[in-house]
């Protein structure tokens, strides 16, 4: 299961006929290594547009996306035989705004829609849906409620459960932690990590929170002004001077380590020190 | 006299009791951060204060005036709000219309209106998007427009409901700076947030849990208190975790505390 992008660009057309180029000439491969991949970049840099190409929600204006060997480009989508459904079943995408995803009368119906569509029997689909809802922290008191009459964070959880219930091979999460309470942010990222470890699902998550990157990403992609400007390890990215021009930031852990090193007037860098390491260090050196 | 006062307010949606016997007062010029678990009633509280929802029992006062169907329009002119989902905010066909709409409601003179649109669009870095449709913007751009629109109204009270949740790190810091400036100009601020580094900047933190006030106090009192943090699904931010552990290990000092606290405010 892999996704390959070859020279992919996307232009939005407005009502008045004008164009806006949201992503430009993207070359990218993912899914081969079964990784946890973070996708970051400034507001409007093209992240949401990019990931909507991974499951054929958007067709590239030019270039080709290849998912599970199926080629998606301006030519192929015209063919009568072209079907998007199998792609959507293998590549699950959780939207940035849960409102774009929710549509059923009740929470349980909404979350069981995906597995039912995959051909599961009603009762099996319901079972999968219940399991996914429990996983995201919603108990049976939510099952019969309308997904539209929930708080922001509750809606987010339902939209995540809806995709988890489909058990996709590749899971794309557009800002999964925004709107969640701090304990929920950690619980859900830990959940994605454990699913990834158990099932070897490739995960791509968009985030603005560099602490989430620091804790969960092995590989990081950076978008800047519609272009993919970095594809590598987070550790190398933290050292790059471009970090600021790309409107990114360092994780709090690294800032804290640097702050302690400066306060203690240490020469060496404290990269990768935990809070407990810092305690030990301050015990030894800590007279201010 | 508090600027905003809630007395024993209860609110129930058909399927859920969202606010229960809640009392809270906010002084003029005070910055109050509201935190708490998903579904604890934070957005409902905001909608009650602007009169978008009416409590089943209890009373709400703004500048001493009781919120009633008769007074609600007048009271609402004093309050700017940025909704949790910016899509629920937009009324205009373009970003420019959208900001203008709020100002027309306030009967701001035409020239003044144009100036404000330019000023606040520039402050939120949305100048080049003024003629775009709000619905076609990215998540963070939508939040920037919503903030610009609310700021342009120059209200006496500003309510931010998770207004920074989709901003990039730079945009987030710029918005925190805008909040500090509002605070300096004596605008009353109510910021609802899951970002505890944002809550740290406030004068006071109110923790909601199941529609009630679980705790209220200074950021220091609340954000270092493990029991409160655990119960309200919050977390200890890293410099404060270090500070707590230093205290446990008996190696903290006033100097370390001051330094770490100052550092935390830069995050
Ligand atoms: N339907 C659309 N029509 C026209 N332009 C669009 C449309 N959707 C997005 N855009 C523009 O394309 C650019 C990229 O948008 P995208 O949503 O991919 O950004 P993003 O990186 O996800 O940003 P954010 O972090 O704010 O969510 C933005 O400048 C946006 O205004
Ligand atoms: N329109 C609605 N109809 C019925 N119940 C609702 C509605 N909106 C919210 N609720 C319920 O009321 C409770 C409080 O919701 P509210 O939106 O105030 O929470 P919140 O603290 O803002 O949560 P979040 O952090 O997720 O935004 C929740 O349990 C929610 O399910
Ligand atoms: Mg986006
Ligand atoms: Mg809310």
Does B35 have pLDDT greater than 70? yes
Among B14, B16, B207, residue to substitute to test ligand 2 (most atoms within 8 Å of Cβ): B16
Q: Is residue A154 part of a domain?
A: no
The CA distance from A232 to A87, in Å, is: 26
Integer angstrom CA distances of residue B61 from A232, B46, B56: 55, 13, 15
The CA A80 to ligand 3 mean position distance, Å, reads 31
Q: Which of A208, A210, A214 to mutate to test the interface with B (most CBs of B within 10 A)?
A: A208
Residue A286, pLDDT score:
64
Answer yes or no: is pLDDT of B144 > 90.
yes
Of residues B15 and A216, more confidently modeled: A216
Beta-carbon count within 10 A of A11 CB: 15
Tens digits of residue pLDDT in A201-230: 999 999 999 999 999 999 999 999 999 999
A262 located within any domain: yes
Q: Which of B12, B15, B18 to mutate to test the pocket of ligand 2 (most atoms within 8 A of CB)?
A: B18
Residue A261 lies in a domain: yes
Closest atom of ligand 2 relative to the B14 alpha carbon: 4
Q: Quick check: B204 contacting A, CB < 8 Å? A: no
> B17 at the A interface (CB within 8 A)?
no
Q: Inter-axis angle of helices A252-263 and B254-264, to 10 degrees? A: 140
- Contacting A residues, span 69-128, partner chain B, CB-CB under 8 Å: 96-97, 99
Say yes or no to pLDDT of A268 above 80. no
The ligand 1 site (C-beta within 6 Å) comprises A 12, 14, 20, 22, 41, 43-49, 96, 223; B 136-141, 166
Do the beta carbons of residue A155 and residue B84 sit within 8 Å?
no
Task: Look at ligand 1, atom 28, and give the residue with the nearest C-alpha.
Answer: A44
Rounded to the nearest 5°, which phi and psi values hold at B178? -60, -40
- CA B202, A215, A276: angle at the middle one, nearest 5? 75
Alpha carbon of B223: minimum distance to chain A alpha carbons (Å): 12
pLDDT digit string, tens, across residues B188-242 = 999 999 999 999 999 999 999 999 999 999 999 999 999 999 999 999 999 999 9
pLDDT value for A39: 98
How close A189 comes to chain B (CA, Å)? 14
Q: Do B168 and A43 touch (CB under 8 A)?
A: yes
**Neighbour order of strands in the sheet with B79-82:** B79-82, B157-161, B188-192, B31-35, B204-209, B212-217
More confident residue, B7 or A278: B7
Instruction: Indicate if the pLDDT at residue A176 is higher than 70.
Output: yes
Q: What average pLDDT does range A161-180 have in this prediction?
A: 96
Which ligand is closest in space to the CA of residue B138? 1
B179 close to B160: Cβ distance less than 8 angstroms: yes
Tell me what the mean pLDDT of segment B131-157 comes to. Answer: 94
**Predicted local confidence at residue A267, as pLDDT:** 75
Inside any domain, residue A39: no
Q: Which residues 151-190 of B have a C-beta within 8 angstroms of A?
A: 162, 165-172
Task: Please provide the average confidence, as pLDDT, over all residues in chain A.
Answer: 93
Residue A182 in domain: no
The percent of residues above 90 in pLDDT, for chain A, comes to 79
Distance A228 CA to ligand 2 centre (A): 38
pLDDT greater than 70 at residue A287: no
Range B120-138 average pLDDT: 94
Q: What pLDDT score was predicted for residue A33?
A: 83
Of the two residues A45 and A118, the one the predictor is more confident about is A45
**Residue closest to B127 by CA, chosen among B136, B137, B135, B119:** B119
Mean pLDDT (whole number) for A178-184: 96
Q: Assign B59 a pLDDT band (cuts: 50, 70, 90).
A: very high
Q: Any idea which ligand is nearest the CA of B168? A: 1
**Distance from the alpha carbon of residue A221 to the mean position of ligand 4, in angstroms:** 30
d(CA B232, CA B252): 27
Percent of the residues in chain A that have a pLDDT greater than 70, as a whole number: 98
Q: Does A165 fall in a domain?
A: no
| Number of structural domains chain A divides into | 1
Instruction: Give, for B160, the enclosing helix (H) or strand (E).
Output: strand B157-161
Choose the residue to mutate in B127, B136, B138, B146 for probing ligand 1, maximizing ligand atoms within 8 Å of C-beta.
Answer: B138
Nearest to B139 among A151, A175, A252 (CB): A175
B231 closest CA partner among B213, B246, B248: B213
pLDDT at A256 over 90: yes
Stronger pLDDT, A16 or B229, i.e. the higher one: B229
Q: Does residue A82 belong to any structural domain of this protein?
A: no
Closest CA to B132 of A48, A22, A94: A22
Average the pLDDT over each of B4-13, B139-148, B252-261 and give the range with the smallest value.
B252-261
Centre of ligand 3 to C-alpha A21, Å, is 15
Dump strand ranges (E) for A45-168: 62-67, 70-72, 91-94
Q: Cβ separation of B37 and A255 shorter than 8 Å?
A: no
3-state secondary structure of B132: coil
Helices (H), chain B: 42-49, 72-76, 95-105, 110-123, 139-152, 169-184, 196-199, 219-223, 226-231, 238-248, 254-264
**Which numbered ligand comes closest to the C-alpha of B18?**
2
Mean pLDDT score across all residues of chain B: 95
pLDDT at A16 (0 to 100)? 76
Among the listed residues B241, B242, B236, the one whose alpha carbon sits nearest the alpha carbon of residue A282: B242
Q: Using 50, 70 and 90 to split pLDDT, how confident is the model at A288? A: low
Per-residue pLDDT band for A283 (boundaries 50, 70, 90) equals confident
* Ligand 2 atom at minimum distance from A155 CA: 26
Kindly report, residue by residue over A23-70, the tens digit of the pLDDT.
Answer: 999 999 998 888 999 999 999 999 999 999 999 999 999 999 999 889
Per the structure, the complete domain to which residue A279 belongs is given by 250-288
| pLDDT value for B1 | 86
Percentage of chain B beyond pLDDT 90 is 90
Residue B41: predicted pLDDT: 98
Q: Indicate the Cα dihedral angle A51, A206, A94, B235, nearest 10°.
A: 180
Q: Is the pLDDT of residue B53 over 80?
A: yes
Q: Are strands A3-13 and A19-30 parallel, antiparallel or unpaired?
A: antiparallel
Determine whether the shortest distance from the Cβ of B212 to ligand 2 is under 6 A: no
Handedness of CA A242, A246, A247, A253 (dihedral sign): negative
CA distance A150 to A158: 10
* Ligand nearest the Cα atom of residue A247: 1
pLDDT at B52: 94
Tokens representing B256? 């370390």
Query: Which spans in A181-274 are helix H?
Result: 182-199, 210-216, 234-238, 242-245, 252-263
Q: Cβ contact (<8 Å) for B253 and A288? A: yes
Nearest CA to B121 among B157, B96, B158, B140? B96
Distance, first Cα to last Cα, chain B = 34
Given a cut of 80, whether residue A126 has pLDDT beyond it is yes
| Domain contains A97 | no
Stretch (H or E) spanning B209:
strand B204-209
Select from B126, B135, B39 the least CA-distant residue to B86.
B135
**pLDDT of B103 higher than 80:** yes
**Mean pLDDT (whole number) for B109-129:** 95
Helix (H, G, I), strand (E, B) or coil at A62: strand
The rounded distance, in Å, linking the Cα atoms of B72 and A26 is 52
Please give the distance, rounded to the nearest whole angstrom, from the Cα atom of residue B147 to the centre of ligand 4.
Answer: 16
């Amino acid at each position: 299961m892999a996704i390959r992008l070859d020279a992919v660009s996307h232009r939005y057309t407005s009502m008045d006929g004008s164009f806006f180029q949201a992503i430009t000439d993207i070359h990218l491969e993912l899914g081969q290594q079964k990784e946890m991949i973070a996708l970051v970049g400034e507001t409007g840099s093209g992240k949401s547009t990019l990931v909507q190409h991974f499951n054929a929600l958007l067709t590239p204006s030019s270039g080709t996306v290849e998912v599970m060997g199926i080629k998606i480009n301006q030519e192929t989508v015209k063919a009568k035989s072209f079907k998007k459904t199998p792609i959507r079943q293998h590549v699950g995408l959780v939207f940035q705004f849960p409102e774009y995803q929710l549509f059923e009368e009740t929470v349980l119906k909404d979350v069981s829609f995906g597995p039912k569509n995959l051909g599961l029997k009603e009762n099996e689909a319901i079972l999968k849906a219940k399991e996914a809802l429990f996983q995201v922290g919603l108990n049976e008191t939510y099952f019969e409620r309308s997904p539209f009459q929930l708080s922001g964070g509750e809606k987010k959880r339902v939209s995540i459960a809806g995709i988890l219930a489909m058990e996709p091979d590749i899971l794309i999460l557009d800002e999964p932690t925004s709107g969640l309470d701090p304990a929920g942010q950690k619980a859900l990222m830990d959940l994605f990590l454990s699913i990834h470890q158990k099932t070897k699902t490739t995960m791509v998550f968009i985030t603005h929170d560099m602490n989430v990157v620091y804790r969960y990403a092995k590989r990081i992609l950076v978008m800047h002004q519609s272009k993919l400007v970095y594809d590598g390890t987070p550790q190398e990215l933290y050292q790059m001077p471009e970090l600021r021009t790309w409107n990114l930031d360092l994780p709090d852990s690294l800032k804290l380590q640097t702050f302690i090193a400066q306060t203690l007037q240490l020469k060496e860098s404290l990269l990768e020190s935990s809070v407990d390491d810092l305690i030990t260090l301050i015990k030894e050196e800590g007279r201010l | 006299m508090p600027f905003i006062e809630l007395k024993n307010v209860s609110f129930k949606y058909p399927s859920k009791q969202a606010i229960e016997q809640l009392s809270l007062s906010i002084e003029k010029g005070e910055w109050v951060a509201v935190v708490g678990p998903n579904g604890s009633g934070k957005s409902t509280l905001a909608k009650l204060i602007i009169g978008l929802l009416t409590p089943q029992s209890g009373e709400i006062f703004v500048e001493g005036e009781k919120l009633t169907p008769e007074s609600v329009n007048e009271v609402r002119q004093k309050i700017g709000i940025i909704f949790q989902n910016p899509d629920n905010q937009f009324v205009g066909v373009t970003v420019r219309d959208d900001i203008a709409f709020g100002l027309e409601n306030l009967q701001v003179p035409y020239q003044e209106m144009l100036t404000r649109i330019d000023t606040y669009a520039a402050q939120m870095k949305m100048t080049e998007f003024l003629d775009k449709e709000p619905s076609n913007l990215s998540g963070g751009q939508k939040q920037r427009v919503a903030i610009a629109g609310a700021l342009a109204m120059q209200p006496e009270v500003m309510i931010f409901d998770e207004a920074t949740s989709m901003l990039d790190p730079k945009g987030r810091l710029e918005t925190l700076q805008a909040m500090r400036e509002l605070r300096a100009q004596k605008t009353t601020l109510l910021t609802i947030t899951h970002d505890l580094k944002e809550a740290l900047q406030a004068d006071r933190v109110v923790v909601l849990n199941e529609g009630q006030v679980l705790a209220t106090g200074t950021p220091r009192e609340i954000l270092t208190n493990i029991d409160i943090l655990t119960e309200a699904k919050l977390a200890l931010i890293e410099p404060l975790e270090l500070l707590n552990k230093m205290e446990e290990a008996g190696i903290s000092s006033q100097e370390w505390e001051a330094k770490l606290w100052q550092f935390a405010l830069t995050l």
